Structure 1
Amino acid sequence: MTFIGIDLGTSSVKAVLVDERQRVLATAARELSVSRPAPLWSEQAPADWIVATLDVLRALRDARPGAFRRCAGIGLSGQMHGAVLLDERDEPLRPYILWNDGRAEAECAEIETNEPESRAITGNIAMPGFTAPKLLWVRKHEPDIFRCTRKVLLPKAYLRLVLTGEAIEEMSDASGTLWLDTGGRDWSDRMLAATGLDRRHMPVLVEGAQAAGRMRHAFARDLGFDAPPLFAGGAGDNAAGAVGLGAVAPGSSFLSLGTSGVLWRTTAGFEPRAGSAVHAFCHALPNRWHQMSVHLSAAASLSWWAAISGQSEAALLSELGAGAEQPLPALFTPYLSGERTPHNDPQLRGGFSGLGHETDRPAMTRAVLEGVAFAFRDGKEALEAGASPIGEAMAIGGGARSDLWLSILADVLNLPLKRYRQAEAGAAFGAARLARLACTGEEPDAVCTPPSGEADIFVPHPTRFAAYAQRYAIWRRAAEVGRTLR
């Protein structure tokens, strides 16, 4: 018996094939593109997700045909907060609005006016990236589309609908819509009413390890499965990453250095911290929750700088060498798409400062790495305010492949970081674990264990931490410039 995890991300769809011993037998990925038709807008075509998903499934089949055929279950991980608007035939009415789309800033205030208890119900401040403000924007600016909307789904729920025929979502992803009673783990009628919707527009809710549909026979036959696999509820991308890392016990933490950045802490109960723009969401496993600081441009900042400088990311990093030096004068604020924690400001803009004639490309690259680390420090302070400090964290994401970047992060945050090779499969591996739980009914703590094997450990250096603490104070003043440029 084998299991498949599919991670529908922003830049790609990734999939892993995992056996009963939790060994990754095969991996596959297909890139996705993002459209930015107007300032602050960020969209994708849902049809591209289907093509890419079928491609990665075929790639797994071609790599390990026997193990693929025996697949019993599929778990889904997905990018959060967006909006797929469907008509009465379950066809998308418009392009998908992504999580980092900032057009709905005014609608956030409108939601909190319509429902004054919004933050208490959801545990979160209304942010333009969440799903509910996007629907108010559509209602206001595209009324014909709003009137024709019969269902609103998140990306992985739309993928599930196409592959199974079932409109089902799970708690961790639903937490990012601003329609969930996060403490009660159910849709909130009051929050839905605040955006002119009701439960008829919502998918059925399940927990992440529950059964949530079975693949349509036509797809199963065409792909070559022995029998149609069972789908698990799955998880939002960060919750799936937590399941894959074994970050399921209260207090466990990880740092994700992907396109966006996340510092995560699992909690035993619902612990909202909306005032500091910290997210409080359901975990993908029942009776567990989590908090996150979220940074909209993390590894995306290095990708942006690579495109601007005409170099690959690897080439830029190679110019820096491997050593963690003292901070340099150049500063970078990574607000390319605004920022969530702690600012909640889609209009916030970043940039370089502290440049001189002596500033070269390597110095600016290092400023990008340090600027992202300083943004994470903002988020760490928001998470720890009035709560216990984070003792250590596991590191995942594409940016975490850089030893230098993790060394800088450890020094800036004064936080030991551990990087496991097994964690490279990320959210897709966590989704495969949820598929296994849905099929076998095992206890989550027995399956969702931390990575085994040796870890690369990045320990903060006291002298560099002190130097970075001084630079952080200067960086925060530079970051305020982004507010004045609105």
Structure 2
Amino acid sequence: MFLGIDLGTSGIKVVLIDDAHRVLGTGHARLSVQTPQPGWSEQDPQAWIDATRAAIADLAMPLDRVAGIGLSGQMHGAVCLDAADHVLRPAILWNDGRASDEAEALDADPQFRAVTGNIVFAGFTAPKLVWMQRHEPDLFARIRRVLLPKDYLRLWLTGEAISDMSDASGTAWFDPSVRDWSAPLLAATGMRREQMPDLAEGSAVAGHLRAHVAAELGMPAGIPVAGGAGDNAATAIGAGITGTGPGLVSLGTSGVIFAATDRFLPAPDTAIHAFCHALPDQWHQMGVILSAASCLDWWAGIIGRAAPDLLAELDPQPGQPGRIAFWPYLTGERTPLNDPAQRAGFTGMSARTDRRQLTRAVLEGVTLALAENMQALRAAGGGADALIAMGGGARSDLWLAMLAQATGVPVLRPAGAETGAGFGAARLALMAATGAGAEVLTTPDIAGRFDPDPALLPAWAEALARLQAQRA
């Protein structure tokens, strides 16, 4: 058996699979996010460990035959540790916008785009550390090393400070072309190589389970822990996306359009991410919106209804987009706007607007934002001939049908789509423990297919063009 641990923003999910990649069980534990100031987003790393323990207990299964562990997690977060590996401050998360000025200054330095192949976004790790230099200099001076969120779990599990190539790609300190830290970029932000974790490929062994943690969790001591991956690369591994062909659309807290490539294809002017994949000699391009399924959860919370109940009120056919627009910028926006100050809202409402219309507008707003990401991906020389849908939002037939119309390609829902990154992490654990290669990463069985309707494509293209014109 192989265990995948996915450290999300709103919770920890664990997935247990067997040698044939069949899911044997899942467990979950919730997490909360602290916002001490507007635009800030933090979590206590100890809460990740406590939630991991709870999620593993939620499996309610004997784990004495687990042969490997894989990790995936939210990217870009900054976990700052002192010389004794004590956490110096709450982790600053991927959707935290406090370092926008610092990110803008780093992005103005041409070496960052030239080396990383990416815009320096405010959510990336490096500008967070520059912010600490300016605003928390005493804490900054005590930093011995910086870890990404999932790699703090690895430190607890193994005692090793190691990251993988896909997660490291999102720091703005990493050169994806050579799959290593960049000494000039570290120096430009006042950091040193020895403050960075070691590196491993996502499917390689990156530490072994410590005896006292193994005893606590009921697993064998010494089993390998895979390098793992950032959440989106792990989700792609779960969907079997390792080369040209189908891409990924993820409808989780954030939204993602992801396409694997066999070479590094940077296109920073499009705000598309160009990162290493979780496998050796593979890379990917990715467009990211910061709020996706979280928009529906936000709307449900505002009106005091459960999200599934709101979806049940809607006509299940995608139809043409309505005239009410929803701008899904609850925490700013990344691709293609690169603007942490963007904010959400409805436009086009009248005295006749009702709850159903606004719920549908939320779905359409997220859908059109993802279609704009597909547009940017194509402009960057990438794209996909179909999209495999993963994440919690993938349970909605209506949402996936809308995405097919807006992107113009079939959208496929695999069986077990909601397992996502945790399933991918478990697959990486299997590969690390057995030495298997990418040939074992078959695409899961497809449970649903949503094809674009040629009669609807012009209306969705016109809606996207109208929103872009209004935003301009």
TM-score normalised by the chain length of structure 2:
0.98
> Once the two structures are superposed, what CA deviation does each residue of 1:394-436 show, in whole Å capped at 9, x if it has no partner?
0111111100111111111112100011333111111111111
SS at match of 2:253: coil
Return closer, same or farther for 1:322/1:112 CA change in 2, 3 Å cut-off.
closer
Tell me which of 316, 319, 327 is aligned to 1:322: 316
Alignment of 1:299 onto 2:304: no
Check conservation: 1:353, 1:478, Cα contact below 8 A.
no
Alignment of 1:78 onto 2:77: no
Tell me which residue corresponds to 1:462.
Answer: 454
User: In 2, Cα distance between the equivalents of 1:234 and 1:298?
Assistant: 24
User: In 1, Cα distance between the equivalents of 2:202 and 2:358?
Assistant: 42
Q: CA deviation at 1:358?
A: 1.2
Tell me which residue corresponds to 1:104.
Answer: 99
Check conservation: 1:103, 1:128, Cα contact below 8 A.
yes
Tell me which residue corresponds to 2:212.
Answer: 218
Tell me which of 118, 123, 127 is aligned to 1:129: 123
Tell me which residue corresponds to 1:250.
Answer: 244
Tell me which of 268, 280, 284 is aligned to 1:286: 280
Tell me which of 428, 440, 443 is aligned to 1:450: 443
SS at match of 2:399: helix
User: In 2, Cα distance between the equivalents of 1:102 and 1:73?
Assistant: 36
Check conservation: 2:270, 2:379, Cα contact below 8 A.
no
Alignment of 1:476 onto 2:471: no
Tell me which residue corresponds to 1:8.
Answer: 7
Tell me which residue corresponds to 1:44.
Answer: 43
Q: CA deviation at 1:221?
A: 1.4
Check conservation: 2:259, 2:383, Cα contact below 8 A.
no
Matched ranges for 1:372-391 at <5 A = 372-385=366-379, 387=381, 389-391=383-385
> Once the two structures are superposed, what CA deviation does each residue of 1:128-175 show, in whole Å capped at 9, x if it has no partner?
000000000011000011001111000011110011110010000000
Counting aligned pairs with the same residue, the percent is 53
Tell me which residue corresponds to 1:142.
Answer: 136
Check conservation: 1:13, 1:53, Cα contact below 8 A.
yes
Q: CA deviation at 1:389?
A: 4.6
User: In 1, Cα distance between the equivalents of 2:25 and 2:303?
Assistant: 35
Check conservation: 1:282, 1:290, Cα contact below 8 A.
yes
Tell me which residue corresponds to 2:190.
Answer: 196
Check conservation: 1:251, 1:267, Cα contact below 8 A.
no
List alignment gaps of at least 5 residues for structure 1: 481-486
Tell me which residue corresponds to 2:161.
Answer: 167
Check conservation: 1:72, 1:230, Cα contact below 8 A.
yes
Tell me which residue corresponds to 2:433.
Answer: 439
Q: CA deviation at 1:390?
A: 2.5
List alignment gaps of at least 5 residues for structure 2: none
SS at match of 1:71: coil
Check conservation: 1:333, 1:479, Cα contact below 8 A.
no
SS at match of 1:25: strand
- RMSD over equivalenced CA pairs, Å: 1.2
> Once the two structures are superposed, what CA deviation does each residue of 1:2-59 show, in whole Å capped at 9, x if it has no partner?
1100000001100011111111111000000001111110111101000011112223
> Once the two structures are superposed, what CA deviation does each residue of 1:286-340 show, in whole Å capped at 9, x if it has no partner?
0000000000011111111111111111111111132223222211111111111
Tell me which of 264, 271, 277 is aligned to 2:271: 277
Alignment of 1:333 onto 2:327: yes
User: In 1, Cα distance between the equivalents of 2:303 and 2:182?
Assistant: 47
Check conservation: 1:350, 1:479, Cα contact below 8 A.
no
User: In 2, Cα distance between the equivalents of 1:240 and 1:136?
Assistant: 28
Q: CA deviation at 1:388?
A: 5.4
Tell me which residue corresponds to 2:200.
Answer: 206
Tell me which residue corresponds to 2:354.
Answer: 360
Tell me which of 225, 229, 245 is aligned to 2:223: 229
User: In 2, Cα distance between the equivalents of 1:215 and 1:409?
Assistant: 41
Q: CA deviation at 1:386?
A: 5.3
Return closer, same or farther for 1:311/1:195 CA change in 2, 3 Å cut-off.
same
User: In 1, Cα distance between the equivalents of 2:202 and 2:267?
Assistant: 24
SS at match of 1:176: coil
User: In 1, Cα distance between the equivalents of 2:311 and 2:252?
Assistant: 16
User: In 1, Cα distance between the equivalents of 2:461 and 2:8?
Assistant: 34
Check conservation: 2:394, 2:417, Cα contact below 8 A.
no
User: In 1, Cα distance between the equivalents of 2:195 and 2:383?
Assistant: 40
SS at match of 2:318: coil
Check conservation: 2:371, 2:407, Cα contact below 8 A.
yes
Higher mean C-alpha deviation, range 411-420 or range 280-289:
411-420
Check conservation: 1:78, 1:156, Cα contact below 8 A.
yes
Give the AA of the match of 1:456: G
Check conservation: 2:259, 2:382, Cα contact below 8 A.
no
Give the AA of the match of 2:39: L
Tell me which residue corresponds to 1:484.
Answer: none
Check conservation: 1:238, 1:427, Cα contact below 8 A.
yes
SS at match of 2:67: strand
> Once the two structures are superposed, what CA deviation does each residue of 1:241-270 show, in whole Å capped at 9, x if it has no partner?
111110012344110011100000000000
User: In 2, Cα distance between the equivalents of 1:230 and 1:59?
Assistant: 22
Check conservation: 2:327, 2:344, Cα contact below 8 A.
yes
Check conservation: 2:394, 2:418, Cα contact below 8 A.
no
Tell me which residue corresponds to 1:483.
Answer: none
